[in-house]
Amino acid sequence: MKQPEPQLKTLDRYLSKAGLGSRTEARSWIGSGRVKVNGRLIQTPDHWVDMARDKVTLDGKPVAQAERRYVLLYKPKGYITTYKDPEGRPTVYQLLKGVDQFLGTVGRLDLDTSGLLLMTNDTAMAEEVTNPAHKLEKTYLVKAATLLTDEQLDQLRNGIELSDGPTLPAQVKRVRDAGKHTFLEITITEGRNRQVRRMLEALDSKVLKLVRVRIGPLTLEGLTIGQWRELTPAEITQIKKKPKPKGTS
């Protein structure tokens, strides 16, 4: 009988995947001699672990995979999405009161962006939905620093050239013009760094306010800024759905 393929992860990632802490914390635990693999002390974070066969302990206690959790947070402006910040800025983890497992962010929002942030310890799901092939739609409300013409909005719709290549076509809706500013709704399926901000900058404009209001089927409904909630089983199923190939119904 053919043996199953090993499920290999580096030791620091294995500990993080178990929901015990961030990879930075895991590296600290490993370096300080708190982790053993199959009874042997390992102090190399990049040591390979077979998730199905190897026995890992932290402080002598077996490491078990944590129960999967899926959280939706309404991130306020002024919070960063890393676990700890050397500059002492507030992080989204300070908002997760009552969550005792480590949850990684599925994608990120920058310091000055508010809105929906999906967090989970299901790293397989996180990797899947952030894969560009998944084409998960993300919708943002944008306040532009200038009045944008219809031609400029069409540029966003058709794809716009950035330093790392052209963007995929976006769904763009003008919400209103007020004074010297255009308010618009934009939906993208990519996850490039600061993508929406860079798209506006390519039009010689600038984002003054940015709020993510939708991730796939998930919306801000029922959440106030700074609050979080668990995803429902139906939402978990929906967010994990793979896109259908073109031409199928």
Tens of pLDDT along the chain (249 residues)?
A: 444 455 788 999 888 877 777 788 899 999 999 999 999 999 999 999 987 788 999 999 888 777 889 999 999 999 999 888 889 899 999 999 888 788 889 988 999 999 999 999 887 888 888 887 888 999 999 999 999 999 999 999 999 999 999 999 999 999 999 999 999 999 999 988 899 999 999 999 999 999 999 999 999 999 999 999 999 999 999 998 766 544 444
The catalytically annotated residue of 54, 59, 85, 110 is: 110
CATH class of 137-215: alpha beta
Closest C-alpha to 83, from 72, 96, 66: 96
Domain 8-62 has CATH 3.10.290.10: yes
Output the CA torsion sign for 244, 245, 246, 247: negative
User: What integer pLDDT is reported at residue 220 of this predicted model?
Assistant: 94
Q: Is 227 exposed, middle or buried (0-12, 13-18, 19+ CB in 10 A)?
A: middle
What pLDDT is recorded for position 232? 94
Tell me how crowded residue 53 is: count the other CB atoms within 10 A of its CB.
Answer: 10
- 237 bridge partner residues: none
Asked if the domains at 70-132+218-231 and 137-215 fall in one CATH topology, the answer is yes
- Quote the pTM value: 0.80
Annotated catalytic, 122? Answer: no
Those residues whose C-beta lies under 8 Å from the C-beta of residue 47, and which sit 6 or more positions away, are: 10, 11, 30, 37
Which residue ranges make up each domain of the chain?
Answer: 8-62, 70-132+218-231, 137-215
35 near 116, Cβ under 8 Å? no
Q: How confident is the model at residue 5, as a pLDDT?
A: 52
pLDDT at site 248: 47
Topology given in CATH for the domain delimited by 70-132+218-231: Alpha-Beta Plaits (3.30.70)
